[in-house]
Amino acid sequence: MGLVTAALYGMLGWRVGPEPVLPALLYLAAVGTLLGFIDIKAKRLPDRFTLPSYGIAAALLAAAAPFTGDGARRFEHALIGMALLFGLYFVQAFLVPSGIGMGDVKLSGVLGLYLGWFGQDAWILGLLATYVLGGVAGVGIMIARRTRKGEFAFGPCMLAGALLALLSFSAPTA
């Protein structure tokens, strides 16, 4: 787990540079790695890590806002991104309860904060990448298990999709 976190720190540090948003992204890398490993092993995303991440992520992004170009607008978009992604996952969990767990719903809001910070295109890419990665993982698991029943941890796909979008849209502004 430490190697994955270190690799993510390196990628984010290289891609983002000394930008005010870097501490927020490093927090996501740390908690996301932890949640990803837990979800793979236990197929759950514990509230004790997801729920505090809302406040921590929002505080770190709010702290970055005054030192970032269009920081107030970015923070507003982060909040909108959080609400929209949470709402989308909540509706999906309500309509297809066997497809998305409530841990995924709770994680989606945190990821929506970050994706929203980087804008609409990052938000859309994060959402699409999540479902493409989830589809590939699901098919791979069905092939490996030789069954059409393919329950698997979706949190790592959500985190990887968000990471792909964040790395794509987080180039230094200077």
- Which parts of the chain have pLDDT scores under 50? none
pLDDT tens readout for residues 134-145? 999 988 888 888
- Residue 173 has a pLDDT of 56
pLDDT value, residue 118 = 97
153: left (phi over 0), alpha (psi -120 to 50) or beta: beta
Inter-residue contact 130 to 137 (CB < 8 Å): no
Write down the pTM of the prediction. 0.94
One-letter identity of residue 79: L
